[in-house]
C-alpha cells in the first residue's frame, strides 16, 4: 500500500522566518511527487517533481526531490501571512496515475 508522510503536521512562525516542510513517500512504481497549497478552499498546484536533485522554484517557494532517500522538501523563505495554509504532498504511481496524499502540514504565519 502506497504511503506518504508529511512532517511537521503543524508549524507556527513569524513573518520573515524560513520554513522547511518535509514529505517522505513509499509509492509503487513511483512517477512523480506533487506539492499543493490549500487555503480554506480547493488545493492549488505548486510543483511537480520527477527527477532527483533538480530544484523547482517559484518566487519564495522552492522544492527538491531525493529519489534515493524517498523524500522531498518544500522551502518557503521570508514567509508572509499570505503563506498561511495547509501544504499537501502527494506521490503519484506510474501504474495507476492515482496520487496518494499525505495528511498535510498546517502552516500559520503570524505578523
Partner 1 sequence: NAGVTQTPKFRVLKTGQSMTLLCAQDMNHEYMYWYRQDPGMGLRLIHYSVGEGTTAKGEVPDGYNVSRLKKQNFLLGLESAAPSQTSVYFCASTGVGARDTQYFGPGTRLTVL
User: CB under 8 Å to 63, separation ≥6 — which residues?
Assistant: 35, 46, 47, 49, 55, 56, 57, 72, 73, 74, 75
Which grid cell sits at 59? 518566487
Q: Which is nearer to partner 1, 17 or 93 (CB)?
A: 93
Q: Which is nearer to partner 1, 17 or 48 (CB)?
A: 48
CA pair distance 25, 63, nearest whole angstrom: 15
Residues touching partner 1: how many (CB under 8 A)?
Answer: 21
Please state whether beta strands 10-14 and 19-26 pair in parallel, antiparallel, or not at all (unpaired): unpaired
Of positions 13, 17, 19, 31, contacts partner 1 by CB under 8 A = 31
Give, as ranges, the residues between 52 and 91 that touch partner 1 (CB under 8 A): 88, 90
Q: Is 98 an interacting residue with respect to partner 1 (CB under 8 A)? A: yes
Residues at the interface with partner 1 (CB under 8 A): 6, 9, 31-32, 34, 41-45, 48, 88, 90, 92, 97-99, 101-104
Amino acid at each position: 500500500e502506497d504511503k506518504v508522510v508529511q512532517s511537521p503536521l503543524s508549524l507556527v512562525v513569524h513573518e520573515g522566518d524560513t520554513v522547511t516542510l518535509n514529505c517522505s513517500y513509499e509509492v509503487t512504481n513511483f512517477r512523480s511527487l506533487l506539492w499543493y497549497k490549500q487555503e480554506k478552499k480547493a488545493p492549488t498546484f505548486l510543483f511537480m517533481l520527477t527527477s532527483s536533485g533538480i530544484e523547482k522554484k517559484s518566487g519564495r517557494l522552492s522544492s527538491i526531490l531525493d529519489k534515493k532517500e524517498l523524500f522531498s522538501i518544500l522551502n518557503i523563505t521570508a514567509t508572509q501571512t499570505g503563506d498561511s495554509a495547509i501544504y499537501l504532498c502527494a506521490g503519484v504511481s506510474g501504474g495507476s496515475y492515482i496520487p496518494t496524499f499525505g495528511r498535510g502540514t498546517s502552516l500559520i504565519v503570524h505578523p
